[in-house]
């Protein structure tokens, strides 16, 4: 009995530290800058997605969007335009990416960086998708929470007007990414 109590205590400590690590995602970066007036902040709550998913439509593209919306639990976007700090903010945000995040895609050119990171759930679907964009004159961080596949979100990514998000459409069916997921060409 004396050995069981310390073992249970150790397991509880390990589990709570794992849960704390899971919460050290880009969310802390959003919290750091959400009240900074130089940023544009967009936050779409689970309630909004549940209401949106109930809208009926005969348009096949709208049905795809509504099907995906029913699987989303949140969307946060943080944008800073006309800034010389785009690259600096990109590097800072990348440091906030928690353990368990896997790189899905990254693009770099002479003056900008783009990175997609994902965290999968037990079913192999995406629980968290992070997109970071940093350039010489702007910064964007996007966080999508839910239970969806990469093919579902990449299918409608081209229709969204978010810089960099259209790059999800470049994911190839022929190459495998981490854990057997489809990856970039």
Q: What is the pLDDT of residue 12?
A: 40
In this prediction, residue 87 has a pLDDT band, given cuts at 50, 70 and 90, of: very high
Residue with tokens 């007007």: 161
Residue among 181, 5, 138, 180 at smallest CA distance from 168 = 181
In this prediction, residue 146 has a pLDDT band, given cuts at 50, 70 and 90, of: very high
Distance, CA of 125 to CA of 112 (rounded, Å): 29
Q: For 31-74, write each residue's pLDDT tens digit.
A: 999 999 999 999 999 888 888 777 777 888 778 878 888 888 99
pTM attached to this predicted model: 0.71
Q: What is the mean pLDDT of residues 97-122?
A: 90
The alpha carbons of the chain give a radius of gyration, in whole angstroms, of 18
Whole-number mean pLDDT of the chain?
77
Q: What is the mean pLDDT of residues 93-111?
A: 89
Q: What residue ranges do the domains of the chain occupy?
A: 22-184
Q: For 150-172, write each residue's pLDDT tens digit.
A: 878 776 665 555 555 555 555 43
Handedness of CA 172, 148, 20, 36 (dihedral sign): positive
Q: How many CB atoms lie within 10 A of CB 171?
A: 21
Residue 134 and residue 87 in contact, taking contact as beta carbons nearer than 8 Å: yes
Question: Does residue 97 carry a pLDDT above 70?
Answer: yes
């Amino acid at each position: 009995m004396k050995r069981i109590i310390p073992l249970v205590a150790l397991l509880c400590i390990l589990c709570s530290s794992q849960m704390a690590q899971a919460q050290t995602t880009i969310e802390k970066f959003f919290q750091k800058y959400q009240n900074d007036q130089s940023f544009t902040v967009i936050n779409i709550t689970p309630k909004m997605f549940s209401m949106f998913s109930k809208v009926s439509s005969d348009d096949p593209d709208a049905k795809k969007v509504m099907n995906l919306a029913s699987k989303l639990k949140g969307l946060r976007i943080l944008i800073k335009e006309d800034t010389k700090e785009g690259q600096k903010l990109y590097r800072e945000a990348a440091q906030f990416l928690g353990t368990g995040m896997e790189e899905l895609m990254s693009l770099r050119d002479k003056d900008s960086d783009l990175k997609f990171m994902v965290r999968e759930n037990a079913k192999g679907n995406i629980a968290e998708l992070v997109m970071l964009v940093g350039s010489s004159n702007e910064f964007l961080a996007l966080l999508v929470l839910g239970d969806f596949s990469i093919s579902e979100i990449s299918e409608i990514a081209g229709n969204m007007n978010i810089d960099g998000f259209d790059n999800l459409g470049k994911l190839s069916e022929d190459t495998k990414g981490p854990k057997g997921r489809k990856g970039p060409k």
